[in-house]
Structure 1
Amino acid sequence: MTTLERNPMVPAAPPSLIEDFYTPEEIATLFSVIRENGPWRLILAHHFSSTEEYLAISGGKDRKPDAQLSDFVAPVFRGFLANDGVVFYPELHDIYFGRKLLDTAKRLHGAKYGMAHDLLFNLCGPSHSFDAGHFDTAVFRGMGLFNTPIWLLAIMSKCGLFDEWEVKSAQVLTYFSKSDIDGGFTYWPEGPDSDPARFAAPFWNTAFLTDNSRMYHRREGNGARDRRDYPGLDLASELHPGADGEWSIRNGDEEIRRFGDEDMRMLVHYTALLFDDLSEVRRFQDHTDDLDPEKVFGMLIDDMRSRGATVVEPGDPMNDAAFVAQLTDFYSMAPSRYPAEAPLDVR
């Protein structure tokens, strides 16, 4: 492990708040799409094919043999509404491509040009948060989620070696949560080694303009504390809209939890890619200065060796478990301090 000369995980600016971001008509459209197009899957279900697959790599060596998914993760469900210029629900076209979201995002970096990247939502009822702090996946010229595993993109961000290839981005996160029982947003504006800051709930149509690909942040546990456990939660669990503003979490035909809008915590998440001038736009679109895995692994190995690490040249660096573990350890960083009002939930 090494101590970097600087911490690259410091945002361009701390988050700023915008109250009453969406119009009543836009809110009605968003809620209608989310209610009418379920069921929705757990966030983890987008990345793992089974509960066993997730548990095989999580929970640590002391994990109890009868561990369940609910021992490690919160029941937070996600739906993708638009991505990379494609709107999945036509009703959202004017929201996704509207100037309000893009112009708001451009303000963070003072960018002249930008493009809508993704629009998604996360939704949960009362729940723990076992998230110790994370940052959103960055986009680099030539490498992003479309062709690169999340673990490598995370290392590329943390090491600071690939800043000149990173495409600037900004997020507009709009929260809808009526409950004031915990449920805030913790963030580390000076890097994960520094003290955190937080925004406290409740939120309703409250937007944060933020640089989440450069800033550790986390959802705090929320809602009634005696209703935050979800026995029976499985990777196949789904969120269904119910009658009278309720939501139903089900495993097939079996309902394991029901909650109402008064207990809902929802985030509508928008990301824009941003460019200072047309030369940056052309470099991104024409692929004249792209990264590729060979260059990335070469730079990482050179950096580790220059800092005194012994690195055995991997034959297949993308799939060499020992090499991946060495990279993960060498560039390791994570928050260790949390607000007194929002401690980390642990099992």
Structure 2
Amino acid sequence: MTTLERHPMIPVAPPSLIENFYTPEEISAIFSVIRENGPWRLILAHHFSFTEEYLAISGGKNRKPDAQLSDFVAPVFRGFFGNAGVVFHPELHDIYFGRKLLDTARGLHGAKYGMAHDLFFNLCGPSHSFDAGHFDTGSFRGMGLFNTPVWLLAIMSKSGLFDEWEVKTAQVLTYFYNSDIDGGFTYWPDGPDENPHRLAAPFWNTAFLTDNSRMYHRREANGPKDQRDYPGLDITSELHATPDDEWSIRNGSKEISRFGDADMRVLVHYTALLFDDLTDVRRFQDHTDDLTSEKVFGMLIDDIRSKGALVEEPSDPMTDTAFIAQLTEFYKMAPSRYPSEAPLDVRS
């Protein structure tokens, strides 16, 4: 990890809670879209192809040396309501583009301007949590999820080398889990080396204003303990709504598990891009000070070499697995302390 005056994974302000965030009508629209569309893919299936890509944002100090992507697969599924200024379900237009979400997000940084970035949801039935703590991908001028893989954005954030190009973000995370069987939210607002904080369940329509691109956090295990194992779950598994108000996890046409609404933990996740002033906006929109992948890899390689480590410049750094593994190892960091009420699950 680079030596910095400010740890790169400490948010600008501690998270804050907002109860009863969405109106009953908004909640009805959100849950109708979730149930009437799909099936929904696993989060890992959206973003990662192999283990080192995932470990760039999660895991780290205490991971098994032979860790595989399958070690982290849990029945957590994701779908998008809107992304990059496009809403995918017209009935959610006023939520995605509404002032409530954007003004709430602006308040975290005191930003004058902002724009809706993504609005998505995570669905989880009874489950262990193998997540050792992760952070959301940052966004940089010229490089974001629209053109850059998640693992590289994570390395950029952890390195601390690209802060002057960072686009500020804030998240409004709204939780729906009307159960007290675990299911909380662990977060590290003082950095991954410090003690965690937690938001305990039950919660319903409880929003959390935060800067998750600068803060390690994790979903805690949830649901009845005897229902948390899913033999056959793999990266291709999908979640289907059923006519009887239940949910079916399937590999193709084969059902491997089923659970009801009462055991579902739902997160509605909103991110806004934020700007201090019009100069900041125009720099972003006019691309007058953008990063390029060539510049990023050059700065990372120079940083590694300046600290006495050897690194060869690959011909294709975006896909060279050995190079990605070296970056992941060099900039690795991860929490090592967990709440006694919510220990880290480790697959045997």
Q: TM-score, normalised by structure 1?
A: 0.92
Closer/same/farther in 2, CA of residues 154 and 21 from structure 1, 3 Å limit: same
Contact 1:2 1:330 in 2 (8 A): no
Contact 2:54 2:69 in 1 (8 A): no
Q: Distance in 2 between matches of 1:42 and 1:270?
A: 18
Partner of 2:38: 38
1:195 and 2:226 matched: no
1:1-347 superposed matches below 5 A: 4=4, 6-48=6-48, 69=70, 72-347=72-347
Partner of 2:59: none
Q: Distance in 1 between matches of 2:83 and 2:300?
A: 30
Closer/same/farther in 2, CA of residues 57 and 200 from structure 1, 3 Å limit: closer
Closer/same/farther in 2, CA of residues 57 and 105 from structure 1, 3 Å limit: closer
Question: Once structures 1 and 2 are overlaid, which stretch shifts more, 140-149 or 302-311?
Answer: 302-311
Residue 313 of structure 1: how far off its partner (Å): 3.5
Q: Distance in 2 between matches of 1:172 and 1:230?
A: 30
Closer/same/farther in 2, CA of residues 144 and 179 from structure 1, 3 Å limit: same
Residue 262 of structure 1: how far off its partner (Å): 1.1
* Letter aligned with residue 111 of structure 2: A
| Offset from partner CA, 1:76-127 (integer Å, 9 cap, x none) | 1111110011010000000000000000000000000000000100001110
Q: Distance in 2 between matches of 1:244 and 1:150?
A: 37
Q: Distance in 1 between matches of 2:114 and 2:69?
A: 43
* Letter aligned with residue 28 of structure 1: S
* Letter aligned with residue 231 of structure 1: P
Contact 1:115 1:272 in 2 (8 A): yes
Q: Distance in 1 between matches of 2:97 and 2:191?
A: 32
* Letter aligned with residue 17 of structure 1: L
Question: Once structures 1 and 2 are overlaid, which stretch shifts more, 314-323 or 95-104?
Answer: 314-323
Closer/same/farther in 2, CA of residues 182 and 303 from structure 1, 3 Å limit: same
Contact 2:186 2:218 in 1 (8 A): yes
Closer/same/farther in 2, CA of residues 326 and 62 from structure 1, 3 Å limit: closer
Q: Distance in 2 between matches of 1:202 and 1:331?
A: 36
Closer/same/farther in 2, CA of residues 55 and 104 from structure 1, 3 Å limit: closer
Q: Distance in 2 between matches of 1:150 and 1:190?
A: 23
Q: Distance in 2 between matches of 1:80 and 1:95?
A: 13
SS of 1:218's partner is: strand
Residue 5 of structure 1: how far off its partner (Å): 5.2
Question: Once structures 1 and 2 are overlaid, which stretch shifts more, 281-290 or 225-234?
Answer: 225-234
Partner of 2:60: none
| Offset from partner CA, 1:153-210 (integer Å, 9 cap, x none) | 1110001110010000000000000111111000000110111000000110000001
Contact 2:53 2:151 in 1 (8 A): no
Q: Distance in 1 between matches of 2:53 and 2:313?
A: 27
| Offset from partner CA, 1:195-248 (integer Å, 9 cap, x none) | 100000011000000100000000000010110001121322221112343212
| Offset from partner CA, 1:306-332 (integer Å, 9 cap, x none) | 222233333333333333222222211
SS of 2:100's partner is: helix
Question: Once structures 1 and 2 are overlaid, which stretch shifts more, 210-219 or 294-303?
Answer: 294-303
Closer/same/farther in 2, CA of residues 43 and 68 from structure 1, 3 Å limit: closer
Residue 3 of structure 1: how far off its partner (Å): 5.2
Q: TM-score, normalised by structure 2?
A: 0.92
Q: Distance in 2 between matches of 1:300 and 1:35?
A: 44
Q: Distance in 1 between matches of 2:135 and 2:53?
A: 23
Q: Distance in 2 between matches of 1:296 and 1:129?
A: 33
Structure 1 alignment gaps of length 5 or more: none
Contact 1:73 1:129 in 2 (8 A): no
Question: Once structures 1 and 2 are overlaid, which stretch shifts more, 237-246 or 223-232?
Answer: 237-246
Residue 56 of structure 1: how far off its partner (Å): 12
Contact 2:52 2:325 in 1 (8 A): no
SS of 1:272's partner is: strand
Q: Distance in 2 between matches of 1:282 and 1:14?
A: 29
SS of 1:137's partner is: coil
Contact 1:304 1:311 in 2 (8 A): yes
Contact 1:173 1:208 in 2 (8 A): yes
Residue 68 of structure 1: how far off its partner (Å): 9.9
Contact 1:42 1:76 in 2 (8 A): yes
SS of 2:209's partner is: strand
Structure 2 alignment gaps of length 5 or more: 56-62
Count of paired positions? 340
Closer/same/farther in 2, CA of residues 191 and 61 from structure 1, 3 Å limit: closer
SS of 1:243's partner is: coil
Q: Distance in 1 between matches of 2:23 and 2:66?
A: 49
